[in-house]
Each structure stands twice: as C-alpha cells, then as structure tokens.
Amino acid sequence: MRFTVTGCAGFIGSSLVDRLLQDGHSVKGFDNFSTGRHEFLAEAHRSSHFSLIEGDILDTSRLYAAIEGADFVFHLAANADVRHGIERPSKDIEQNTIATFNVLEAMRQAGVRRIAFSSTGSIYGEPEVFPTPESCPFPVQTSLYGASKLAGEGLISAYCEGYGITGYIFRFVSILGERYTHGHVFDFYRKLMRNSQEIEVLGNGKQRKSYLYIQDCINAIMTAIQHPQAQAKINIFNLGTDEYCSVDQSLGWICESLGLNPVRRYTGGERGWIGDSPFIFLDCSRIRTLGWKPQLTIPQSVKLTLDYLVSNPWLLEVR
Amino acid sequence: MRFTVTGCAGFIGSSLVDRLLQDGHSVKGFDNFSTGRHEFLAEAHRSSHFSLIEGDILDTSRLYAAIEGADFVFHLAANADVRHGIERPSKDIEQNTIATFNVLEAMRQAGVRRIAFSSTGSIYGEPEVFPTPESCPFPVQTSLYGASKLAGEGLISAYCEGYGITGYIFRFVSILGERYTHGHVFDFYRKLMRNSQEIEVLGNGKQRKSYLYIQDCINAIMTAIQHPQAQAKINIFNLGTDEYCSVDQSLGWICESLGLNPVRRYTGGERGWIGDSPFIFLDCSRIRTLGWKPQLTIPQSVKLTLDYLVSNPWLLEVR
C-alpha cells in the first residue's frame, strides 16, 4: 500500500515510517522539520520506497502533493507541546486543528479514503472515571493542546460520515523509547546533566501518569488498521499500558539508573502546569480485544528511554 | 453591565440584544450581516445604550474594537447552517471554530473575563442515551457543524482554565419563534407557498426533534449567567423542552394552521441529510434546577413561528 505520513521526521512518525517500509509498503513523508529530525529518517532514506516532501502543513499545495496518490494517510504532524499552550495559543489551533482540516481537504480533493490520527489522552481533561474508557462521560477540556486535538477528532469524524472516509483515532498516553525528544524523562535528564545535586519537579510530584513504549504503540496502530473488526467509519482506540506511575516514582527510576541522588525541589500544587492532568490512566481493553498487548512495562520504557538519551547526547543540544 | 454580542443581528442575537437593553444594560453589537438582518435591530437602535460595529469576525481588528471594554461577551455569531456543511466545509471551520478562537484572543488581549457561547445539541452526534444529558458518553461527531461547535466549546473551556475566564456553554435544540429565518418551519412554509398540493419531506418524516421557543431560550440564558450556582470556570447547559415531535407531526401542525392538506413526498431514509441526527432530545434538568422552565410547548412554538412568517413575507424573499 501507499502511505503518506505527516510529521514523518518526528519521534512517532519516523518510527512508523520505518515499520511501514519494513512491512513492504511505500511511504511518502511530509515534515516541516520544526521539531522533526533529519537523523531519524536515515534508515528510511536507504529505502527506494521512501520519498520526502519538505513543507509546512499550512502550505496546502505542498501538502496536496504529499497526499495525492496515497491509499492511506497517517496524520501525525502536530504541535506536541502540551505544556506551553497558554503562552502561544495560536500554535495549537494552527498546527493541530487547521492542519487536520487541511489534511482532510487534501484527502477529499485527492480521493484518499483512509486516515489515522494521533490524538491524546489529554482530551479527557480531568476525567471522573479511571481507567478512562473511550466512552467515558463527555469531558471538559482543560488544555489548548487537548482542545485542539479534540477539534481534530471531530473534524475527522465528520469527514468520515460526510465523505465515506474510514478513520482511526488513537488516543495516546505519553510515548517513550528510541527517538524520544521531549517530555518528562528528557526534561529530568537534561536538568540532571546540568546539576546532579538538586532537581526541580513541577507540581508536587504526585501526579500519576501512564506511558507506552514506542514499538508497542506502533504495533497497536498496525494491529488496528489491519483488523477486520476495526473497519467502521470511525474507529477510536485508547493506547496505553494497564499501569501508571507517579512523577516521583519515575524520577526515582531515572536517578537510580544514573546513579544519582539529587535533592528534589517541588514547585508545588497538584498540577505541573496550567492544564496538566493530575491523573492519566486509560482503559485500553478495546484495543486489547483485537489481540494487541504491550511488551514493555513503564519502568522498562523509562529505563530504555534514558539509555537512548545517554547514547545520543546530540539530542540535548539546543537547536 | 456592558455586553458585547457577536451575531447581534441574527435570530437569537437580536432577541438577546433587546432583552439586555430592556434589563438596563449597554450593548455593543457585532455582525457581518451575512445572514443577520438590519430590520431585527430596529428596536435596539432606538436605545442610546446600543451601538453597532459592522464587521466580519475573521477581521480581528474590528472584532477587537467590538470586544474591548466589555464586561461580558455573548458569542453567537456562527454559520448556523447544519445541513450544507459537506458542500462548503471551510465555512464551518472559519465561521465557527476560528471565529471562536478570534473572540477568545480578543477577550484575552482586552482583559474581558466572561463569555457565553451558543453551542448545539448536534455535538451529541447520534447519542445512545435519551434524553441526552450534558455528561452523556463521549460522542462521535457526525456533522461538520457539530464538529466546529465542539471545537469552539473546547477552546472556550481551555481558555477558561488557562486564563481565568468564566464560560457559559449552551447546547441548544432548534429554536423557534419571532425572527426565525431558517429551519424546517421556514422550509416547509416556503415550499407550501410555492406548491400547496404537494410537499417534499427530507428523510422518512419520522426523525424526532426537539424545539424551544426563543423567549424561553433567552430566559434560560439570563437565568444561568446570573445564578449564584452557575459561577464555575465553565458552566454547560442543555437548553430544550421536555418533549419532542416527529417531522411529520410538525408538518401536520403547519398544514393544519394554514388549512392545507398537501400530498407528502418523502425522500426516504432515517436522516434528512448526511449528518442529520434522527433523534434529538436533551435532558434539561441541569438548567431546570436553577429555577427555569419553558413557557411554550413545541406545538405552540411551531404555530407562533408560522404566524410570524405569515405576517412577515419579506423574510421569504431570496436575498
């Protein structure tokens, strides 16, 4: 099959590109390299079935060129910065909501009929039910990131209904593993490299979060889009592990792995930042009924991510 | 208080403007007159507490002028055309989603701290629970109109959380009454004026819908925004009656009122158009606990709307 992957040079995008190529598909990648890395596409470029179109997703003509002729679009391009939404609100709406609209319009014009979208557990805001299923009570948004992804989900669903497109929406917990470039492991590791004696923790450290290993995430996506039981107009799946950990626990694993014992200084409060969800724990039984299950636990994923960062110091350099 | 009302020349907007002026408030109205009517502002213009800024909501500098200095913004400007979304998908995203973002950004820059938003029961898609409460299972969008309004809701909620704004979201059923300018009563009446012998009904006529009288709607809004129990960051209310009717029933009341007995020709199918919800019936107990209740039944509202259209033939002219 011919796949287009937007955000192809990102953490998840590039991992997916490699997998699609390994599985024998051809892939057109699209990225503006605002956060994506050329280095992550090194393996892809060795394949004759990979081509790259560099462009911003707000540039509709370049986007159309990337989407035209595809059988299936993975729309992973996004502003994935959950934390700084309130400093730059237009970024979320442009890069997540309008971007998704542009992808859908390009698909409609080019006659492409299948899309998968990287959504987020953040759209559950601060849920009342744990673990949170896909059909939990209608949530209220607490972050611009979540709101912009919810808007993307809504657009995709409406296009699926209106234009006979088949859609896959994956609501991720935080993903860890090789090519990880932002998030709490990254932040803690960088802080500890600068000062191994003391570390600042956003919030009270008791926020509970769930994580999933990148290859488990890719396996889940590939399982869903190929499964005969997931061919409805719109197919929505939580993706996570059946466990969670506190920020403090995770920092403990990081420190242990590095052989450090810094003093922890907490900024305080139940939330690390405005719009931070104090507890993210998704019910993933829907994707599990398709036969998928994660291979790595959260502590294993944290450790592996840290090992990757230690081996790739170039990622910590300010670009 | 100083109110700004976007969409001030529309059906609901102009009715709200009149009510705010009657209650002694000052009102700045904003409208692009794409569907709004200068005639609806005749009463408002007689008040020295009313001023009008003509402009499109995508013109951020004119919008800022309308919002600056307000205590409270009613954001009612919208593309309210539920039916033709798939013919012009950009209209919903521009006029409903980006428009709402523009309003929120103007409020943030101008330091305005309260907003009310006209959302819709269409965001429930095709719900599983009837009557549908605000906290029903997380719905899947079936129309671009619903998706664009859901996106607006999400943005408002995120801004309320992020910037200390207080928000009111009203999920309306279809509103009927004086100044009604589009919807099924309008369409049926116009068709019957052209041909009283035969009438086309979209779908199988068995779609069940709920309606609310415009003054009941305005009363509900005013009740909510002033109520001490509705001062959370974000306050979400369904607005409707505790009843519903079928399209066939409603057409029956219209025909009876006009003394006509046309042959009904059905286009067939459970839905009148792609994205039409075959059953809309909202649980309005949340707003009722604040002491509000509707004064008119659905048949009374339909009759009154028809009487209004009969008395105002200019509204049926193609503009």
Min Cα–Cα distance to chain A from B88, Å: 11
| pLDDT, tens only, A165-179 | 999 999 999 999 999
Identify the pLDDT of residue B274. Answer: 84
For tokens 């059946």, name the residue.
A242
Q: Say whether B145 is catalytic.
A: yes
Task: Give the model's pLDDT for residue B118.
Answer: 97
How many whole angstroms separate alpha carbon B177 and alpha carbon B309? 9
Say what percent of chain A tops pLDDT 90. 92
A199, two tokens: 């570390």
Q: How confident is the model at residue A89 (pLDDT cuts 50, 70, 90)?
A: confident
Q: Over chain B, what is the mean pLDDT? A: 95
On whether any CB of chain B is under 8 Å from the CB of A132, the answer is: no
Out of A125, A157, A162, whose CB is closest to B274?
A162
Instruction: Tell me if A90 and B105 make a contact (CB, 8 A cut-off).
Output: yes
DSSP string, A195-249: -SSEEEESTTS--EE-EEEHHHHHHHHHHHHH-TT--SSEEEEEE--S--EEHHH
- Low pLDDT (below 50) residues in chain B: none
Rounded distance between C-alpha atoms, residue A237 and residue B39, angstroms: 50
pLDDT for residue A85: 67
Percent of chain A with pLDDT over 70: 99
| Chain A residue with Cα closest to B145 | A158
Cα separation, B5 vs B23, in Å, equals: 15
- Our CA-based measurement puts residue A198 at a distance from the nearest CA of chain B, in whole angstroms, of 29
Q: What is the dihedral of CA B216, B218, B221, B223, to 10 degrees?
A: -70
Closest CA to A27 of A36, A19, A35, A37: A19
Say yes or no: B155 contacts chain A, CB-CB below 8 A: yes
B91: nearest CA in chain A?
A: A101
- The whole-number pLDDT of residue A87 equals 77
Scanning every residue of chain B, which has its alpha carbon at the shortest distance from the alpha carbon of A88? B105
- Are B285 and B241 spatial neighbours (Cβ–Cβ below 8 Å)? no
CA distance A285 to A264: 36
Strands B211-213 and B114-120: unpaired
Residue A275 is predicted with a pLDDT of: 82
C-alpha angle B8-B14-B17 in degrees, rounded to nearest 5 = 85
> What pLDDT score does B275 carry?
82
pLDDT tens digit sequence for B180-201: 988 999 999 999 999 999 999 9
Q: Within 13 Å, how many C-alpha atoms sit on residue B58's CB side?
A: 12
pLDDT confidence tier of residue A290, bands split at 50, 70 and 90: very high
- Between A316 and B178, the more confident residue is B178
Chain B contact set for A119 (CB, 8 A): none
Q: How far apart are CA A17 and CA A22, in angstroms?
A: 9
Alpha-carbon gap, residue A184 to A181, rounded angstroms: 10
- Please report which residue ranges of chain B form alpha helices under DSSP H: 11-22, 42-45, 60-67, 89-92, 99-110, 144-163, 184-194, 214-226, 247-258, 285-288, 298-311
Which residue ranges form the domains of chain B, and what is each CATH number?
Answer: 2-175+211-239 (3.40.50.720), 182-210+242-281+295-316 (3.90.25.10)
Which of A136, A158, A274 minimises the CB distance to B146? Answer: A158
Show the tokens assigned to B297.
Answer: 């039944």
Average pLDDT score over residue span A85-114: 92
Q: Are B52 and B31 in contact (CB under 8 A)?
A: yes
Tell me the backbone φ, ψ of residue A267, rounded to 5 degrees.
-75, -20
The answer to whether B196 faces chain A, any CB pair under 8 Å, is: no
